[in-house]
Structure 1
Amino acid sequence: MFLQQLINGISVGGIYALIATGYALIYSLLGFSNWAHGEVAMFGAYIALTLVTRLSSPFLGALAFGILAAGVASVLNEKIAYKHIRDKGSPTMFLMIAAMGISTTYQNGAMVVFGPKFQMFPSMFDVTTIQLGSVSIGILDVISLITSAIALILLELLVNKSKVGLGIRTVASNSYTASLMGININRYFSLVFLIAGLLAGSAGVLLGLKYSVYPTMGNVGLKAFIASVLGGLGSVRGAIIGAIIIGVLETFVSGYLNSGLRDLFTFGLLILILLIKPSGLMGVDVEDKA
């Protein structure tokens, strides 16, 4: 039972991590929490679902296109809303307010276009499980775990082992100084939003396959935000660790106590970390955690 719940928790935490790392990347550059990030995941899931169910597109191709659409949507959010606010030198709070407006727009738009009902992807995988000793692992859980692990490893290599990653870290360290050195910071802003959007789209598709697709599914981004705070806002590795902790915590609470207490423990952990260590497990001290 313990191993079963642990594996399930890591699988869910891996999906949270895909969204949480996007939060961390965007926060490291712009210093604000992108509340519309969860809705980008929802958008990608709906695009993939529409291609599969209404246009009879190849399954894997539709999933890939949904992930790409989420990446494009994330970049457009930055170009249409956030860039203009940045160019005017407005306070960071304005970016967060704009993100809230974008989030509401996405949710209401999805409700109008796709309807308020829960929708399911057609079954592509058998509902059978893989038996490892006394532990049973669902096929979708295995796929989610492998996909999340590959995506996060590639992200880690990109950020820490590539020239592009060096540029991202430079802009994150001090965007003004980076611009004086001739670095096109707007290009890196767009690149980070693209990467974050692709990761969010992957999470949205995985959640849609595992559960269902609905207009407010982007609220899962709040769990990813908590994971980012727990790990340390702006820290990609911290976001991954925080997401795994949240996923395992929720699974154990649901399995051993009551599923209705899951959110209580998650938000309680958020309050606890803000009281004890506001910078998170791997973050740095900051003045404002908007």
Structure 2
Amino acid sequence: MKRILALSIVSLLFVLFIGCESEVTLTAPENLTVTAATNEVDVVLDWDEVIEEIDGYIVYFNGTAIDTVATAGYTHTDPQETGSYYVTAYIGEDESDPSTSVSTAPVVADNITLAEINASGNSGLGWDRTSGSATSYSMADATNAAFIDFYFSDWAAGYGGSSYSFISPDLVETDPGVTWNMSGSWNSSSFTNALTESFDNVTVLPASGYYNTSEITATNAAYGVYTNDGYYGLVEVKSINTNTGEVEIRVAFQPVQGLRILEH
């Protein structure tokens, strides 16, 4: 009886030992970054290698595991949508806490009113490269030059012209409607013609077909924007009032430099 009891205790201790042995604490991957691939549609993730012995990493997109890799680094091929990424390390059935997350989601801003360059109000718009926020600026102040990505003009004196256009800021010094000194280090941008998709249905902006001016041929249409430092944006022209020179717009900005995915 004593022998059976002793064997039972040994067996129980062995089971407890094995149970404790399987509990592994893994370090979460650190320094996760997101960049655009050279084709501007693939999303590249990089992070630091975990120092513990592991089987690999699990990549998550919008909360769902999409792949496993053996080493640090992953390319999400042509996802056609945007969202949040994080990574975990794993060995066997054990998984680390998630890394910090990174995002490819565009920053959308609505109910922005800009003025034709001769009308009353701010005519220029620029995006903050870190936050993605949109801010309107006065084109009459050349100290704003570094912050402005586009403005609107009818390319004539006054603001009652029959058509308005997106204009690259570096063209302002030759704008026929400008009669004051506009000397400054203005940015350059380029624009698509009206896209076939509506603002809310755009997934990926085109790789070509950008011009330093683009006539607004339709309201409630979307136009792609490419900045001189390699960022993409999207603008919906909601309405134009040539009596007041006001243009109401909605915008989206992709904070990942060089990424053409604007799905939102």
**Normalised by the shorter chain, which TM-score bucket?**
under 0.3
Structure with the largest fraction of helix: 1
Rg larger in structure: 2
| Alignment TM-score, normalising by the size of structure 1 | 0.20
Structure with larger RCO (C-alpha < 8 A, sep 6+): 1
Higher strand share: 2
Using structure 2 for the length normalisation, give the TM-score.
Answer: 0.21
